[in-house]
């Protein structure tokens, strides 16, 4: 009975996500849904670095910002289309991930956190002070949206409203989650998890620590750069205020609350944290206090993240059912 309820709930959740733009929601709620999908991309990319490879990083807002500024500057200054700028944004963010990953190979714990935090602040200060390129604190405006594209068998996709952006991001997020699921069960994913659990044992076992650590930073930063590109072409504006250290902490919180080292964790974390912040917006100055209290309670109640605790509950339920079946009592 429990498994039937879980399957029904899962099916209803998928149906809700797919039909969301057709439920007559206000533009504000559709905007929030799109932002959640962007944060799912950011959380999933950080999950590669922190959740799977075990490298605690506070530089993710920097990779996000590199992707956003690259994808904004190429159309504005060079005349490129958004589609041409997007892979370059991901590439440059990935290169930045390699540049951060190599010098921090031997760092761990608080030293790694300080190094990644410093890198993030260096990138942000560059965005603030390179006024001739980024316009500094004033930011860049008039960034074009995604151009219409023709998909064989489907037709021409025109990104003229929030529903089109929502569905496009939904496809991107679904594809990323599928790839991450396969990656987690691949040789690379097993190597990352071995490094996360015990670096010494992993190295003794023949795992190339340097290669896999840098690979995690490179892939995570690349996806964060693409997320920045998608974000900037949706909002049409970019400024350094969007890529502060607090934004890196915000993304890390989503991964931790949802469940590190799980595919669904960043999805759940992005939805829960974004909804909490928006729900508490009306409380003005008390908003962040209540937000902190709620995060504390969630962390205490779900130390392995929401998805991790649910997975453990389902495992206990399965074991209990198997035990009853072996004892000849299927009720």
- Rounded to 10°, the helix 187-197/162-184 angle is 80
- How does pLDDT run across 56-68, given as a tens digit for each residue? 899 999 999 999 9
Tokens describing residue 293:
């209290």
**Domain-embedded: residue 3:** no
**Domain-embedded: residue 184:** yes
Of 125, 107, 137, 3, nearest in space to 61 by CA: 125
**Domain-embedded: residue 297:** yes
Task: Give the CA count within 13 Å in the CB-facing half-sphere of 120.
Answer: 24
Number of folded domains that form the chain = 1
Q: What is the DSSP string of 271-304?
A: HHHHHHHHHTGGGGGGHHHHHHHHHHHHHHH-TT
pLDDT at site 226: 95
**Domain-embedded: residue 310:** yes
Q: How far apart are CA 65 and CA 89, in angstroms?
A: 10
**Domain-embedded: residue 79:** yes
**Domain-embedded: residue 98:** yes
**Domain-embedded: residue 113:** yes
Which of 28-32, 118-122, 325-329: highest mean pLDDT? Answer: 118-122
Q: Which domain holds residue 122?
A: 31-326
Cβ atoms of 113 and 58 closer than 8 Å: yes
The CATH number of the domain holding residue 106 is: 1.10.3470
DSSP 130: -
Q: Is the pLDDT of residue 86 over 90?
A: yes
Q: Is the pLDDT of residue 1 over 70?
A: no
Tokens describing residue 94:
């990935």
What residues contact 275, with CB distance under 8 A and at least 6 apart?
Answer: 32, 36
In the predicted model, what is the mean pLDDT of the chain?
86
Q: How far apart are CA 331 and CA 328, in angstroms?
A: 9
Of 293, 44, 60, nearest in space to 178 by CA: 44
pLDDT at site 63: 96
Quick one: how far is CA 73 from the chain centroid?
Answer: 23
Q: What is the pTM of this model?
A: 0.90
Q: What is the DSSP string of 233-250?
A: HHHSEE-GGGGSHHHHHH
pLDDT at site 115: 93
Q: Which helix (H) or strand (E) holds 150?
A: strand 149-151
- What average pLDDT does the segment 28-35 reach? 89
Cβ atoms of 46 and 176 closer than 8 Å: no
Which of 30-34, 220-224, 267-271, 284-288: highest mean pLDDT? Answer: 220-224
**Domain-embedded: residue 23:** no
Q: Is the pLDDT of residue 178 over 70?
A: yes
């Amino acid at each position: 009975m429990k498994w039937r309820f879980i399957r029904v709930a899962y099916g209803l959740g998928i149906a809700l996500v797919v039909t969301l733009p057709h439920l007559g929601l206000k533009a504000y709620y559709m905007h929030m849904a799109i932002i959640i999908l962007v944060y799912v991309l950011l959380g999933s990319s950080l999950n590669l670095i922190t959740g799977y490879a075990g490298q605690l990083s506070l530089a993710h807002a920097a990779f996000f910002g590199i992707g956003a500024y690259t994808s904004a500057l190429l159309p504005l200054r060079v005349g490129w289309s958004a589609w041409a700028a997007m892979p370059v944004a991901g590439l440059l963010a990935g290169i930045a991930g390699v540049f951060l990953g190599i010098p921090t190979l031997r760092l761990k714990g608080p030293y790694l956190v300080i190094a990644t935090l410093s890198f993030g602040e260096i990138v942000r200060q560059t965005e603030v002070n390179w006024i001739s390129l980024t316009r500094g604190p004033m930011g860049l405006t008039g960034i074009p949206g995604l151009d219409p594209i023709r998909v064989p068998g489907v037709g021409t996709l025109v990104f003229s409203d929030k529903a089109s952006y929502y569905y496009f991001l939904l496809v991107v997020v679904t594809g990323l989650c599928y790839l991450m699921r396969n990656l987690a069960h691949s040789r690379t994913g097993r190597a990352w998890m071995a490094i996360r659990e015990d670096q010494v044992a992993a190295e003794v076992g023949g795992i190339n620590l340097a290669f896999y650590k840098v690979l995690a930073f490179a892939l995570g930063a690349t996806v964060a750069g693409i997320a920045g590109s998608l974000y900037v072409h949706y909002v049409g504006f970019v400024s350094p205020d969007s890529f502060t250290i607090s934004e890196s902490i915000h993304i890390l919180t989503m991964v931790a609350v949802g469940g590190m080292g799980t595919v669904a964790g960043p999805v759940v974390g992005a939805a829960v944290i974004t909804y909490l912040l928006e729900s508490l917006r009306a409380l003005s100055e008390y908003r962040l206090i209540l937000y902190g209290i709620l995060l504390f309670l969630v962390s205490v109640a779900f130390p392995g993240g929401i998805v991790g605790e649910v997975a453990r509950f389902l495992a206990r339920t399965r074991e209990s059912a198997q035990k009853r079946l072996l004892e000849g009592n299927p009720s």
